[in-house]
Structure 1
């Protein structure tokens, strides 16, 4: 770390200037003087930015309802062959005139496009296309927030792309066009949560980073929870209605982001945009920081913040250079590889569980609602105890618990209530593990590459989720759930063990530059060697 002596002091201007020629303060120390206390301006900014997660959740899980296999009934109650057909696969062996859908055909893409007898690869194509789009979009857009666009504009662009592609899905006339639009929607959605998480935490002081980051998780839960409510209110209506209900508000939200959200002062500093940096700090400062704000505005930016002399702490980040740094630096690559593996396992359960609840002997609307509600205690647990949680033990412990409960869902198939209970515990544990993992990743990487690191983590979380629709569709064809839940449990339990490769960050101060992180790493290595 660089010398922690504050850049802004109560000495006169000459002493202040001489002091800065002798000492280099960290970026955090500079910003803490102005926005260290949590004021209304920061709170409103955090809420506005975190609302992105509402629309992220809606587009992530909307397929649970739009792509669901609808229930059906026999036209003739005395038709023995029809009444003995219990699973979706068996209905394909019946004459089409012997049965009918319980809801209008346009309620689901399965019934509208007569896909009830299609293979699992076809029925899983839209959901899988969405997750593949997330992977591609994340790769193409991830570093824009660290480079040319910045946090705010990257958030705006990705939210507009996601909602615009979602609106275009209402024009789909077959599953191939629908899957294409789902791919584009996923590409836009890829970086929305990442940009929101990083931006919201960089708009506040370090004391509040973890708590502000968790606000986004609450918003994601609200978005997820809103889906069964919207779907229930529109039961029997076209599946296109759900996209209109979720995408139109997202477009209006993007307008609010453009006019009211501030850019990250940390990113502006590292980019050398000193006027915007000062203006942003001034707008976010609390009343108790009036003295420091006056010094900030009256002092020369070049003297006060040494933009021209801050070469060792500043990094010129262009497109994909952040990813290059993460892969070239040995310590960074080791950390990135570990969080990627853990993220893959957690993502398979996190995204797969809601898609698989239709296989359980329980009402679909209640199942999805209960899964969404189980995210609330996960957020609350993380919010209130994140300061006391060891990151490594929390991530691995909840991952292993999730895996054990997932496997037990298969072993205890005698009771639907017990199964849904185990499924909820498994999903809750996966949610908590993911929440802590995201906060953990923010602390593992410095500001200059933080957005890219979190984006890569979310890519692997999505990659794990991309396999889920295929598993769910395969089990749905056989009317069972053995493959899905056993694979979920085994993968998340195994991947959760990889946190042992990571350093513990609880109680530490996140760095802003590569130099600071490497200095901290070298100090830790020397200390361990001395022991």
Structure 2
């Protein structure tokens, strides 16, 4: 990497009668793409802010499709038709009553459960659409996410996946049975699986190091807004068909895809790593704070970085699996993400099991994400990743178990309070987990690694509807107890991961290995040969 050619030179073009010293002139060698881009977009310009906001809005539609099952697949309330006292809607099992002895409180079209007579089917069938969605998320993330590092890039993959999710959601409004419903939920999840990771990576790579954390939190805030919009839309739609919710959430998302195509730019980091320097220069010029009449050059990029231009399909995943240190990091962080995902997606789905108003409880859970995002926003640059992730994970588990204990005592309000604290802690742990994952892996495999971590979260989501279904007959006793134990145990795996707070992001696997060797050498005083053998 000892090349004397500057990675970046920018000169201000003056008119013939001007003799000012150029305002921008860099004559130093910058060893990485990170340093090069920092010279261009270290300060947050309006163009960067606009790009980051547009990319982060994808999280809003992500949240709507993720949690829409809370309302469309909820079991409606019912009442007895017999005046003789043989039926009690609060105590009697609906499946033990004759069909003519009870009725739904609202029209049967308000829920998939009532429309397709699923009230007495097993928990596997009732939870099938939600589980199919999360299975689709899992497979979609595994099969699609690496395209952002290899062939398509961040922008095109975000556009493709968001459009697939939206079109499948729109088609869901016209299905006639639970089987087609589950298939389309799977397709919607398949597209959704790569959206969050791709959006997070693209927005963070469009800004400088100083703004990476705040921009990442912006996506979390948009996700919260999407989650919060659902109870309001569902309440406005109460008494009407559940199909309306899918139409209301899918159409704006389709129009959003048009804006992505027309306005959003590709990641300059990815373009440079792929050797597409002219496109990277054009992107950087459009986002730099002062770029009028400036000449740009990246002629000095090292061959080490250029070799990543020849990366093959899915080779990013292969590289992660071949490197022992990368595989170790990926395994530990995915085990952690599994427990967080089970609680993060399972708790909102299980709110119908609690003896509390569904609209209010969902609203409280959505609102609790705001302080979670704000706390992460303000302290992300000050807290250590490992310890904070473990503390919030264990706290979530303890409160989840406590909600089970107090619920058995009949203290419903206290139960909801513990549930909110547990969900808040899981949200905060989730936010920190994603930022932590960004910092654990270099640019060449970052999107694939983050997406794999999200697949661990999705895998937890796959099991959560079944756990929720098992807890319907005991007011959530089984589901919330399992949630608490799983997230507490999985949070302990972060002990095996390195701390990344304040560390510089690397662009290639070799750079990451060299940085790790240097840190280990400075910590224990070993020589280079010993460290190289260990890595």
TM-score normalised by the shorter chain: which range applies?
A: over 0.9
SS at match of 1:448: helix
1:79, CA displacement in angstroms? Answer: 3.0
Does the alignment pair 1:101 with 2:107?
Answer: no
CA–CA distance in structure 2, aligned partners of residues 240 and 256 of structure 1: 26
CA–CA distance in structure 2, aligned partners of residues 526 and 331 of structure 1: 16
Structure 1 segment 39-438 matched on structure 2, within 5 A: 39-76=45-82, 78-83=83-88, 86=91, 90-287=93-290, 294-296=294-296, 301=297, 304-307=298-301, 309-312=302-305, 314-315=307-308, 316-413=310-407, 414-438=410-434
1:318, CA displacement in angstroms? Answer: 2.3
1:11, CA displacement in angstroms? Answer: 9.1
1:232, CA displacement in angstroms? Answer: 0.3
1:311, CA displacement in angstroms? Answer: 3.1
CA–CA distance in structure 1, aligned partners of residues 164 and 483 of structure 2: 31
Asked if the contact 1:7–1:29 (Cα under 8 Å) also holds between the matched residues in 2, the reply is: no
Judging changes above 3 Å, is the alpha-carbon distance between structure 1 residues 386 and 313 closer, same or farther for their aligned structure 2 residues? farther
CA–CA distance in structure 1, aligned partners of residues 474 and 328 of structure 2: 42
CA–CA distance in structure 1, aligned partners of residues 219 and 11 of structure 2: 40
Asked if the contact 1:2–1:24 (Cα under 8 Å) also holds between the matched residues in 2, the reply is: no
Does the alignment pair 1:512 with 2:507?
Answer: yes
Deviations 1:279-334 (A, max 9, x none): 000000002x65xx7131xxxx4xx4335x53356413222100001111111111
CA–CA distance in structure 2, aligned partners of residues 190 and 18 of structure 1: 41
Asked if the contact 1:200–1:212 (Cα under 8 Å) also holds between the matched residues in 2, the reply is: yes
1:115, CA displacement in angstroms? Answer: 0.7
Structure 1 residue aligned with 2:20: none
SS at match of 2:238: coil
Does the alignment pair 1:455 with 2:451?
Answer: yes
1:4, CA displacement in angstroms? Answer: 12
Deviations 1:390-423 (A, max 9, x none): 0001100000000000000111122111000000
Does the alignment pair 1:526 with 2:529?
Answer: no
Deviations 1:493-513 (A, max 9, x none): 010011111110111111111
CA–CA distance in structure 2, aligned partners of residues 360 and 62 of structure 1: 18
Asked if the contact 2:271–2:277 (Cα under 8 Å) also holds between the matched residues in 1, the reply is: yes
| Structure 1 residues without counterparts, runs of 5 or longer | none
CA–CA distance in structure 2, aligned partners of residues 18 and 71 of structure 1: 69
1:479, CA displacement in angstroms? Answer: 3.6
SS at match of 1:73: strand
CA–CA distance in structure 2, aligned partners of residues 91 and 381 of structure 1: 44
Using the size of structure 1 for normalisation, the TM-score is 0.93
Judging changes above 3 Å, is the alpha-carbon distance between structure 1 residues 200 and 404 closer, same or farther for their aligned structure 2 residues? same
1:166, CA displacement in angstroms? Answer: 0.5
Deviations 1:244-285 (A, max 9, x none): 000000000000000000000000001111111110000000
Using the size of structure 2 for normalisation, the TM-score is 0.92
| Structure 2 residues without counterparts, runs of 5 or longer | 14-23, 527-535
SS at match of 1:83: coil
1:86, CA displacement in angstroms? Answer: 2.2
1:136, CA displacement in angstroms? Answer: 1.2
Asked if the contact 1:34–1:281 (Cα under 8 Å) also holds between the matched residues in 2, the reply is: yes
CA–CA distance in structure 2, aligned partners of residues 232 and 428 of structure 1: 23
CA–CA distance in structure 2, aligned partners of residues 148 and 243 of structure 1: 32
Judging changes above 3 Å, is the alpha-carbon distance between structure 1 residues 119 and 280 closer, same or farther for their aligned structure 2 residues? same
Asked if the contact 2:9–2:27 (Cα under 8 Å) also holds between the matched residues in 1, the reply is: no
Structure 1 runs of 4+ with >6 Å offset: 1-6, 10-13, 16-20
Deviations 1:334-356 (A, max 9, x none): 11011100000100000001001
SS at match of 2:423: helix
Residue 464 (structure 2) aligned to one of 447, 463, 468: 468
Asked if the contact 1:2–1:516 (Cα under 8 Å) also holds between the matched residues in 2, the reply is: no
Q: How many residues align?
A: 513
CA RMSD of the aligned region, Å? 2.2
Structure 1 residue aligned with 2:529: none
